[in-house]
Amino acid sequence: MAPNVDGQDDRGMHPAAPGYVATADSIRRTAESSAARVAAAAQRVVATMRRAMIRRATEADVPHILRCIRELARYEKLEHECDLDAARVREDLFGSRPIAWALIAEQQGQPVGFALCFRSYSTFKTRACMHLEDLFVFPEHRGKGLGLALLRACAKEAVQQGCPRLDWNVLDWNQPAIDFYRAQGALVLPDWRTCRLTGEALQRVAAAT
């Protein structure tokens, strides 16, 4: 017997009441209700993605890109490493010899995220590859498919440019991001570590004879 509009079944019993025994009909209706809620949630995400737009960044997007970088650094607890310069970003992305490019995620006409990529090279493949340096969506706009849309747009660009690989890094404590990337089929390589020379160490090695 199925619950009525008051949440009780045809016997006048609420599903949470002691002694309540679910019938096949009530189980079916409960499952249908749950499926309907999931479908409605999926439709809301699809509707959000339809209202969203992923486009190439322009020079006018430099302030938004810098804001995204700051917010990403804050989220990753790496603000102390930031040395942001609008003029450098403008030259590196939109100058006469750009070395990177960016995508902007818009929601209802407002920029709410970005991705930034540059070309790398694989000696094993002897081909140019693509590196995704940053992908970020403002927290209040997450869960709407925008991050996935940005990742897909980067992958499409890599394929169009003939790159056999799209690489990026993820912090080992950022499990939600790791799970998200794995769900898209990405490999999280356990045997590799990022090595970096910076600051005085970089200058010292460069000056050594």
| List 20, 75, 121, 181, catalytic entry | 181
Give the C-alpha distances (Å, rounded to integers) separating 164 from 100, 115, 125, 129, 170: 18, 19, 8, 6, 20
**Is 181 tagged catalytic?**
yes
Q: Which of 57, 140, 40, 45 is nearest to 93 (CA)?
A: 57
Residues annotated as catalytic (active site), given as ranges: 181
